[in-house]
Amino acid sequence: MHEMSLAEGVLQLIEDAAQAQDFSKVTAVWLEIGQLSGVEVEAMKFCFDAVVRDSIAQGARLEIIALPGTGWCMACALSVPMSEVFGECPHCGGHQMQVTGGTEMRVKELEVD
């Protein structure tokens, strides 16, 4: 489950920010997770809760902001929504797709005390 290592990375970012910005408690974390990122949201929530125990983020609310998958169809030269990385163009049915969005995961915001 790669969500555990992702959650550990999020905690490291939180701890680094706490040291740089001098705060001692995180009450909420907003994560942007792309539809094509391969991150299972429910697994991420479970792993986050496990990883933040006994840390400055213990008990923090995890808010997920879902980002849509998007791609560029080389056949019809359109930007289109994508629900899977190797999917077909919903406009022309072609498979010459280049993913342009929805593969990312990032910490968008922290609520701190």
pLDDT digits (tens, 9 = 90+) for 48-78: 999 999 999 999 999 999 999 999 999 999 9
Is 50 a member of any domain?
A: yes
- pLDDT at position 89: 94
Range of the domain at 29: 2-69+101-112
- pLDDT at position 100: 96
Query: Can you give the pTM of this predicted structure?
Result: 0.88
Q: What is the DSSP string of 7-24?
A: HHHHHHHHHHHHHHHT--
Distance CA(56)–CA(96), nearest Å, equals: 46
Which CATH number characterizes residue 63's domain?
3.30.2320.50
Examine the pLDDT at 1 and tell me if it is beyond 70: no
- pLDDT at position 24: 95
- Apex CA 11: angle with CA 32 and CA 13, to 5°? 75
Is 59 a member of any domain?
A: yes
